[in-house]
A and B are shown apart, each in its own frame.
Chain A
Amino acid sequence: MKQENFQERHHDEWVALDLWLAQRTRPKSLQRLQDGAGLFGDLEFPSMYRRVCQHLALAERRGYSALLIERLQDLVQRGHLVLYRSPAPHWQRIVDFFAADFPRLVRSQWRVMTLAALLFFVPALGIIGLLQVRPELAHSLFAPAELAQYENMYDPASSSEKLGRESGTDLKMFGFYIFNNVSIGFRTFASGLLAGVGAIVVLLMNGLLIGGVAGHLTAIGYGEPFWRFVVGHSAPELLSIVIAGGAGLQIGMALIAPGRRTRSRALVEAGVIGGKLVLGVFAMLVFAAFVEAFWSSIVWMPNVVKYSVGGALWLAIPLWLWRGGRGQAPKHGAVINANDVGRS
């Protein structure tokens, strides 16, 4: 068939699809609910799209002109974006994710998670213990100005009405904690792509610094206000940094040792796992920032309440990560969803 006849025969269909797509991709979601006005119904779109795909295949096979092929390519590409849209997230899936998928994902990556926990907690606890025996070592970890600032913040003699900070309202500190802590968490993950080295460095440094501050303040007798302040938010915050580090390590591992996959394939799969882990880390850090800003800073709360809440969180979060999602069948490929990998 000559091109001109072909164009004449199918011209109306192409114009209709073009108009339908123009209406459809307009961002107003209300307009999407009704069928493309006067063209064809939404239910007919897939068959319409397939017809134009066939026209394109015919046009290419028969060697029709570049102009026609480009026009059909344009229609098909726009149609492809509409037809293969990923489904909108449902609330139920969000609940499922935090109740089951996320803890399950953390357990499935238990090797890197254990490694990350060791990289963080061993130097942290080690330095706390060491500073009790040899307190003068604090001076090789921190500059004198930093030490003075920490000491000032947790001085039991000071009459500050808030714990753990010099000034600032709860809301201001919430904003600060969100921006600061979540950014640190995200960076810990992303720096893992540098063959895991970045995540290792961040975990070790954070372990040393946090342990150093805790050990020093305990050694000089300022431990009480310090532990009172940090006990509440320590569990979500420290554990989420460890998980972010583990997520970074597994992406570094995919780069170093992709196994029986190509390196790029391994990176894509690790990227999806890492992205899901970071979503959970994000939620944990927002929770930690909330606790830190609005709960940990309360001065009048009796010690027993503070330590009980902190202890309860240290029990509840590991329990959630350990038991969450156990005994249920994984739903539609909870660990790696083939659709999410982004390659067919």
Chain B
Amino acid sequence: MLDTLTLVETPEGIRLRLRAAGVMPRAAAWAVDFAVRVGVIWIIGTALALLGETGTGLYLLLLFVLFWLYPVLFEVLRDGQTIGKKALSLRVINANGSPVTWMGSIVRNLLRVVDMLPFFYGFGLVAGLIDTQSRRIGDIVAGTLVVHVGNPNQHLAAPQVPVVHAPITLHADEQKSIVAFAERAQQLTVERQQELAALLPMLTESHGALAVQRLLGMANAFLGRR
């Protein structure tokens, strides 16, 4: 429940990992979009006010375009990203991982009207909190999903250290954990590294900084470095 990772199988027989975006980043993206639209209305509206009645007509057309068409045009033509979504590295896609279609985008944006009920996106908020993929009602009906773009955990390549051979044979899963430790090592403090390494006295056969070095060495061995 805590993890919003969604696995989608593709025709190539692999599984895409889609990280559904929660309510907060989406609300922030909406706020950015709202600010952009208010800014555009304010600037162009001031200019149009000089044109009198004709200007009022154009102004109302502009309101219509910004209110109903802005999200659809951006989502379909700019790879699923409005300005706000781009700022927060979000993207709208179809639930099967493909780019959002015209119909999907139109439906999800039309149904904002329902999500806005009874006031200030109340239904959308409740739906987003209940749904495991934080979809609002418009997303559920349109079959779309808002996902994070890019990589959340900043793993780095395992540090290069002399290879150490493990004293006992390790399972593939266990090897993977050691390699994962090596790739995370640079994000951890030295104390934390030693604390984690101390959990495996049988494997490292040593203490403190040396234990960490030996674990990193084993990771290098599992990766096949020489």
With A70-B155, A191-B114, A342-B144 known as contacts, the answer to whether A56 contacts B14 (CB < 8 A) is yes
Nearest chain A CB to B198 CB, angstrom units: 23
- Verify if B88 is at the interface (C-beta below 8 Å from A): no
Pick the contact of B57: A73, A81, A171, A344 (CB < 8 A): A171
* Closest chain A residue to B115, Cβ basis: A190
In the complex, B4 has a CB within 8 A of chain A: no
A169 within 8 A of B: yes
- In the complex, the chain B residue whose C-beta lies closest to that of A57 is B14
Query: B194 in the interface, Cβ–Cβ < 8 Å?
Result: no
Query: Which listed residue (B59, B67, B112, B224) contacts A4, Cβ 8 A?
Result: B224
Partner of A342, one of B95, B112, B175, B225: B95
- A65 pairs with B79, CB closer than 8 A: no
Q: Contact mask A1-34 → B, CB, 8 Å, 1/0?
A: 1111100000000000000000001010000000
Q: What is the bound-complex CA distance between A54 and B11, given in angstroms?
A: 12
Which of B16, B99, B111, B141 has most A Cβ within 10 Å? B141
Report whether A194 and B223 are in contact in the complex, using a CB–CB cutoff of 8 Å. Answer: no
* Pair A80/B97 contact, Cβ less than 8 Å: yes
Which 9 pairs of residues, A with B, have the shortest CB-CB distance?
A2-B224, A342-B143, A175-B60, A175-B57, A271-B141, A190-B113, A171-B57, A4-B224, A172-B57
Contacts from A to B (Cβ < 8 Å): 1-5, 25, 27, 49-50, 53-54, 56-57, 60, 62-63, 65-67, 70, 73-74, 76-77, 80-81, 84-86, 89, 168-169, 171-176, 178-179, 182-183, 186-187, 189-191, 193-194, 251, 264, 267-268, 270-272, 274-276, 278-279, 339-344
Residue ranges of B at the interface with A (Cβ–Cβ < 8 Å): 8, 10, 12-14, 16-18, 53-54, 56-61, 63-64, 67-68, 78-79, 93-99, 101-104, 106-107, 110-114, 117, 137, 140-144, 150-151, 153, 155-158, 172-173, 175-176, 179-180, 183, 222-225
